Structure formats: C-alpha cells, structure tokens
Amino acid sequence: MLDHRLKPVAEPPIAVGARPKISILVSDLSSRGAGRWGSAVRPFLLGQALQGMGYAAEIVGFSTEGDRQTSPSEPSATAIPLHTLAIPSPYPGPKAVGELFRQLSGDIIYAYKLKPSSFGLALAHRLRHHRPVILDIDDWELSWHGGDSYRYRPSARQLGRDLLKSGGALRNPDHPLYLQWMERWVAQADLVTTHNGFLQRRFGGTIIPNGKDTELFDPDRYSPADSRAAYNLADYRVLMFPGAPRPYKGVEDLLTAMDRLNEPDLKLVIVGGSPYDDYDRTLCDRWPQHIIHLGKQPYEEMPRVIAAAHVIVVPQRQTPAAQAQFPLKLTDGMAMAKPILATRVGDIPEILGGCGYIADADAPAQLAAQITAIFANYDHALELGRRARDRCLAHYSMAAMGAGLHQAIQQSILAKVHRQGNILGHANPP
C-alpha cells in the first residue's frame, strides 16, 4: 500500500526568499493539451504547490493557438506567469526552440511529461545552461501506442517517406519511436516525480499526488439543492462524471449498469467533453435516456457544479493507460465530501482509503449493485463522503503537494548543489 505521508526533513539552509526559481516546461499549452482545464491540469498544480512553498515559478511552452502572456491578475493564470510561444504546427523548429530556451528563466527546469518536446528539450537546455532538470511523469505516453509491444518496422520506402516527406511521421518530435527512446533517458533527470505507484514502479522517482484547492472545493460554501436547481437537475439522482470521457475511463460500463437498473430518475451528468474527438457525442447518441451533458465549465465554477452531484463516479477500466493515471475527478469528489463510486484500478483504492465504494473494473453488474447500495443507505454514503474530505485535506491538498515537492527538491537537488559548492540564482539572461 502506498504511503504518501511525509517524513521529517530539516529546514533548507537557504531562506524562503532565496529559494530557486523553477521554470515548468510544457510542450503543449493549447486547449488540446495542458490548456484544456486551465489551472486544474498538473503543470498548473505543480506551479501552485511550488509557490505555496515560497518558490518562484513560471510555465513556458508552445501552442498552435496563439501567443499570449498572462499575468497574476487573470484568474486562469492562478498567479503563475505563463509564457505561451506560438508555433504554426505542432512541430517546433530550431527558431521556436531557441525562443523557448530564452524564455526559460528558472534556476531549475521542470519538464512536464516524458516526451522529446519537453524532457528532451530540457536535457538539451541543460547541455548549454547547466541547470538541473526535474522530470514529471503523469502518464505512460507509450501506452497510447501499444506500450511495450510497440515496434516501428517500416519498409525502406516508408522510412524514407516518414523522414523526408513534409508532414512525415518521423518529423513529429513525439512520434512513438522517440517516446520509446526517451524512456531510456529517465535516469538523466536530476529528480523524477510522478503521481502513482504504477509509474513509480516503471520509472522510479518520488510520488507527488495531485493536490486540490480545498478552500475553493469546500462543500460548506455551496448548496447541493441550489446547484441542482441551477443546472435543471432537481428531479434526478445525479451520478456525475466531471471530465473528458474516453473508452478506458469506463463510462460505457457505468451506462450498461444503468441499463440493468432501468431507473428513469437516475442520470449520468457528464461535465466536460473530449477535446480529441466526438466520443462523448457517441455516448449521448447511444444512451440519450441516461445522459445529461453539461459541457465544459470554467474551473472556478466546478465546485458549484459538483455540489449538484449525489455521487461522483470514476469507473476506470483495467488498462495500462488507466493504471498510469491519477484521476483528478477523484479528488474533486473527495474535497467536496461526495460519495464516490470507483473501480479497483491503479492507486484508486489506496487514494480512497476505504472512504468510498469500489467495484471491480469492467464489471457493470458490480457497479449496478453499488449504486443500489449507495441509495439504499444514503446517510452512510454521505458519512463516507465526509471522511473522504478529511482524507483529502490530509493527503491531497495543495499544502500536502507543496510539502512533498519541497522535500524532494531539497533532498535531491539543493543538497547536491550545496555539496558541490554551486550557487543557484543566476538564471539565464534575457
């Protein structure tokens, strides 16, 4: 069982105001990438957690959707300077990479995702600027391409096209062949962080669970009845899925469970939608009798939306992609003291710690049985929700995330810097 409790650590020999600046390097800040959920996505959580521990932080990355600089006055920036570099295609050229390097003003470079377009660029930057590199792994990137069974075996003609043709597959810096190669370079990072046991067992590093803004996500600030009325849900028992449906997330299993129950007042409310395809529309077309689709909501409004739920559902399937994830919707529900129905996948049982309802993955009959159990004794379900919030406050708050990051940086990077007699604090000139 995972133990996220922090071990005692001595206060660092540098003052809070002198803690190094950290540049979080994100390859894709577009609405299809890290920009899709605003400050709820992991690089923004990392930045907020670092700031909470006295580190200066910035986020730097590419986007095909325009060039913008955000300031702390913009709510979506959550007080983290955000430098978005416009590129005409998803494949940054030498000029764009050079501009990215000039924007990386931190004493430490924190690469988000095990990709050539983030970690690879961070290692290249270190060759010239000698800044320590942290790697954050929040997904098994190769799992989207067959995992360990992936092989690139083109014919000679196909290899030529992939290399030389405009738009050739191997011109994509994050082609699965390169993702496969990048896994061999993980040990080159000065520190590796991740958020679950599956990824830690595969790549090593320190587990830093995703933190939740438990002040914003505070159930005492919202009325469930008012929220249900506001979203026209007052007549229903609401199972809520706050996120982007994907096949591995098990929404179809939940809908199959609802077919078995055949209770017209029971609705699955999907908040959001897939930025990649029309999968959520496919679900709505197949199960119109069960689904209410609210669409994407501003992050700041999500606690009010979640307040309308009777149950938060996280029905992940047993796939490598799901095992490698820390579902943010899980701590959405925990922070808001909601009853949670989830599946026994990855770290989900450990995260819940007995404060929710668990079914086996890929088992609609078990999901149906758990839904029946929840509403048969809803007072008990609410008590489990309250315990889940207490657990979230202790282990999955922004403060807990920041403390874990600070400890890892202090022990793995700053201690090494001090032993070597180096001094951080002289970041790249503009």
Residue 309 pLDDT level (bands cut at 50, 70, 90): very high
- Assigned token pair, 119: 């970690």
Average pLDDT for 325-346: 95
Q: Which helix (H) or strand (E) holds 393?
A: helix 378-395
**Among candidates 341, 403, 345, which has minimal Cα distance to 373?**
341
Q: What is the pLDDT of residue 75?
A: 38
The stretch 359-387 carries a mean pLDDT of: 98
> In Å, what is the CA distance from 308 to each residue of 136, 232, 236, 239, 283?
33, 10, 10, 9, 22
Q: Which position has the higher pLDDT, 9 or 211?
A: 211
Fold designation for 16-211+398-420: Rossmann fold (3.40.50)
Beta bridge partners of 242: 271
Same fold, 16-211+398-420 and 219-395: yes
For residue 296, name the pLDDT band (cuts at 50, 70, 90). Answer: confident
User: How high does pLDDT run on average in the chain?
Assistant: 88
DSSP state, residue 86: E
Does the pLDDT of residue 365 top 60, yes or no? yes
pLDDT > 60? residue 171: yes
What pLDDT band is residue 147 in, cutting at 50, 70 and 90? Answer: very high
CATH classification code of 219-395: 3.40.50.2000
Would the pLDDT of 107 be above 80? yes
Q: Could you tell me which residue, 285 or 33, shows the higher pLDDT?
A: 285
pLDDT at 250 over 80: yes
Strands 68-70 and 82-86: antiparallel
In the chain, pLDDT over 90 holds for what percent of residues?
Answer: 72
Structure-block tokens of residue 211:
């933190």
- Weakest mean pLDDT among 95-99, 295-299, 334-338, 366-370: 295-299
Q: Cα–Cα–Cα angle for 346, 183, 317, nearest 5°?
A: 25
- The per-residue pLDDT for range 178-229, each reduced to its tens digit, is 999 999 999 999 999 999 999 999 999 999 999 999 999 999 999 999 999 9
Reported confidence tier of residue 417, pLDDT bands at 50, 70, 90: low
**Averaged over 51-66, what is the pLDDT?**
91
* Average pLDDT, integer, range 143-152: 92
| Contact status, residue 374 vs residue 345, Cβ threshold 8 Å | no
Domain limits, the chain: 16-211+398-420, 219-395
